[in-house]
């Protein structure tokens, strides 16, 4: 029995050592969202001052934006109350161009596309439980609905016919994740045209 336990013990010890050593990654950089936000803020301020001096700055989010067209719709954004929180839900039809600050286009639509946006306002501000990046939520959402502050860039939210240009820190994009041709920690530049919303 002693002969069997010794190899068994050694096997468990070897497996435990491998697991511990594989999980240890002292040389992997630790993501610091606040430090990255500060870096992005400086980068965006320089980018905007050189390219879009008329852009406005939203101090709550760090997003720079320009309203290119106001829009004429009268869509009223509503919150849906569920057991899991309050959801902001709407269905826009949009054309958009997304690019990096170096000018490389990573996504665009030539024809308008419709999709549903669902954002839980009850988890962690600003809406990390969402099917779009937070920068788009801030672009679409009104500043508030009733007593609930949503932090949107415009008072009524984007309407049919609205066209907005947003330049957002990586915190409200893909953060420290590389996605497709978008490198990790990339501030993003979008022009979004709303052709319809319901």
**Do 53 and 42 touch, CB atoms closer than 8 A?**
no
The fold of 31-197 is Chitinase A; domain 3 (3.10.50)
Q: Can you give the pTM of this predicted structure? A: 0.81
Q: Which residues contact 143 (CB under 8 A, 6 or more apart)?
A: 149, 150, 151, 152, 153, 154, 155
Q: pLDDT band at residue 40, thresholds of 50, 70 and 90?
A: very high
β 105-108/148-149 pair status: unpaired
Q: 136 versus 130: which is more confidently predicted?
A: 136
Predicted confidence band of residue 22 (pLDDT cuts 50, 70, 90): low
Q: What is the mean pLDDT of the chain?
A: 84
């Amino acid at each position: 029995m002693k002969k069997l336990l010794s190899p068994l013990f050694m096997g468990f010890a070897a497996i435990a050592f491998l697991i511990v050593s594989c999980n240890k990654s002292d040389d992997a950089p630790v993501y610091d969202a606040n430090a990255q936000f500060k870096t992005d803020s400086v980068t965006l301020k320089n980018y905007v001052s050189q390219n879009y001096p008329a852009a406005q700055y939203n101090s709550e989010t760090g997003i720079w934006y320009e309203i290119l067209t106001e829009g004429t719709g009268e869509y009223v954004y509503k919150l849906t109350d569920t057991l899991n929180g309050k959801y902001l839900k709407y269905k826009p039809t949009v054309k958009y161009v997304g690019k990096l600050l170096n000018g490389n286009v990573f996504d665009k639509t030539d024809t308008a596309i419709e999709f549903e946006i669902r954002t839980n306002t009850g988890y962690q501000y600003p809406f990390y439980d969402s099917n779009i990046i937070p920068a788009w939520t801030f672009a679409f959402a009104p500043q508030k609905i009733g007593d609930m502050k949503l932090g949107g860039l415009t008072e009524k939210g984007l309407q049919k016919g609205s066209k907005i240009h947003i330049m957002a820190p990586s915190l409200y994009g893909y953060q420290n994740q590389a996605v497709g041709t978008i490198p990790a920690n990339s501030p993003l530049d979008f022009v979004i045209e709303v052709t319809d919303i319901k």
